A and B are shown apart, each in its own frame.
Chain A
Amino acid sequence: MRIVLACNAGMSTSILKMKLEQEMTKDGKEPNVIAVPVSEINDHLENASVILLGPQIRFLKNEVQEKTDVPVLAIDIKDYGSMNAVKVYKTVKEVLGE
């Protein structure tokens, strides 16, 4: 599973990236998360299992979804503010039907 996180500069999502990787390791999965600026998203669509957008760019969801078949989600505002990787990971697994 490869999780692609995107925000404006890929900075604030990189905080969540570290926490999500810990969650994946706990879950017995190879940690595979990257945080990228949304302007570079085209280069990271390949091999992505799911794309998560920071809430500050939630309005780009449809725009990104048009470019890919994998699910594109805007991260819940509360979960993002508290960097709640447990809940974000749970949502990802639900969406991917795991």
Chain B
Amino acid sequence: MKITTCLLRLLRVAVLALGASAASAEEVLLTLTGAVRDGQVTIARADLDAMEWREIATSTTVTDGQPLFRGVLMRDILAHAGAEGETVTAQALNDYVIDIPVRDFHDFDVIAALYMDGAALTPRDKGPVWIVYPRDDHGVLADIRYDMRWVWQLSALHVQ
């Protein structure tokens, strides 16, 4: 019993160390521009850690089953940045760009996911940030018009 606990603790330390090496707490994850406080707000992992985290189990169009996503509500991020606008232009690492109505984030519990099934999302997968809609909780979300707003490898948000 004791040995198991010790092993688990060791494991956790190892995982934390790995995570720290992958992305430091101060490294900028997201950059918000446009109608935000002072015209530009950068968000680091430490900022996200200070917010309330949510979990969503939902099917996606590019994976099987119902992965469990963990992250921060998009509306919380916008509020954190003092965003005032109706549309968010999301941009990904590969320059994928799409406009998302801010309404979405208030109508649904859309999260900026950093974990899928307990594993941190990385740029080699769909991370570090993936916009995830609660697709299985609302029938209307199972639609191409919403699916294309699931931006993976999210890097910047422009509010207008």
Chain B associates with chain A: no
Binding site for B on A (CB under 8 A): none
